[in-house]
Structure 1
């Protein structure tokens, strides 16, 4: 009986030039490619190159919540991997803020399905470049939808990722205002490493005023002794 393999690779932070050579070689050689979503700037180079692929975008409309969405994606990938080699492509890096990959690692281990995950550049490298930041002194990275993690008290700089809508930004702002004054300076990062990149210092109360918030938006809050401790 033939043994098939599931391979996961990342499309990088958005600039096509940041896709690794190893990943591009796999893309060119793959017979069956499926994207978590085509809503990512790098997907355009797949179209230009005439690469055929499927996506899971339809599941975003059908699922009631993200837990159901990710479970459905993983179920489908596991089913496909029993009958064919599959290359699953995700935005950024498979190792950074990618829930489906964490679930796949668990499921493939349990089922004995071969899994290979290729390294890729995440949004963090362009963020470090934009801020001139060396994370060696410590850094907290949390998902904007994880209220418990956001409300924790990091004694270091804080990155809040997956800030994909103004509605979510509004909820996040209210939560952060329990710890920070309304005028606390935060750094708004949008479309890093892309031509329309925006890195701007804004007061916290203006967070949800930003009209260009989308899935490539991140917030950076430099560590401010005193505020978290008094929250």
Structure 2
């Protein structure tokens, strides 16, 4: 039985990938990426890192929950044959459901699991937005509609706004509690040359032309007395 080491590929720019993480990726015979749809993957290929991805699971599954469980099963099965490095976008400890599930499953099966720290897009967002997370920032998934109901009451970062459809559903949910013209922030590709961090009106959220897997939205709290 091997050890599963979980690493993060960072927010996107190669310079944000730690030397330790690159070393682990280069020196492990079994490298599994949750997805190869990430800007850093091109550099892994240049460095001759041999890997497989779990993108095929997204095409077969009927729900994200099914995808995540299948990813965990695949990584645990690989660990039967020796050490595995499992790499996720961003940080393993920020909005990464597969890591939560894998921790539980690995413990139940007696598999040693190690998580390495890495930079998240949030580290870049704090700088771009000029916010301090200690002021009560909440981080949720775009499909966590129960938590969206509290938007405007505190700083809110919404991740996984990965498609026009998701953005549309999110907009509708937010418009139940916030004015249509409430100012929010559209975040995309932070740390990359074409990064975006710009204010838009809430009703414009799903009208952005370049929504993809590196898109998030920040919802500032309402001004006191508003």
TM over 0.5: yes
Preserved contact between residue 103 and residue 113 of structure 2 (Cα < 8 Å): yes
1:1-231 correspondence runs (5 A)? 3-152=1-150, 155-225=153-223
Offset of 1:199 from its aligned partner? Answer: 1.2
Offset of 1:155 from its aligned partner? Answer: 3.2
> What's the CA shift string for 1:22-67, capped at 9, x where partnerless?
1111112111111010000011100111111101111110011001
Preserved contact between residue 10 and residue 16 of structure 2 (Cα < 8 Å): yes
RMSD (Å), alpha carbons:
1.5
SS of the equivalent of 2:92 reads: coil
Distance 1:60 1:96 in 2: 20
Distance 2:81 2:144 in 1: 36
Structure 2, unpaired ranges of 5+: none
SS of the equivalent of 1:159 reads: strand
SS of the equivalent of 1:8 reads: strand
> What's the CA shift string for 1:138-163, capped at 9, x where partnerless?
10111001111112356321111110
Offset of 1:188 from its aligned partner? Answer: 0.7
Offset of 1:225 from its aligned partner? Answer: 4.6
**TM-score normalised by the chain length of structure 2:** 0.96
Structure 1, unpaired ranges of 5+: none
Preserved contact between residue 163 and residue 213 of structure 1 (Cα < 8 Å): yes
Distance 1:144 1:221 in 2: 12
Distance 2:116 2:152 in 1: 30
Offset of 1:80 from its aligned partner? Answer: 1.2
Distance 1:97 1:53 in 2: 23
Offset of 1:224 from its aligned partner? Answer: 0.3
Preserved contact between residue 38 and residue 57 of structure 1 (Cα < 8 Å): yes
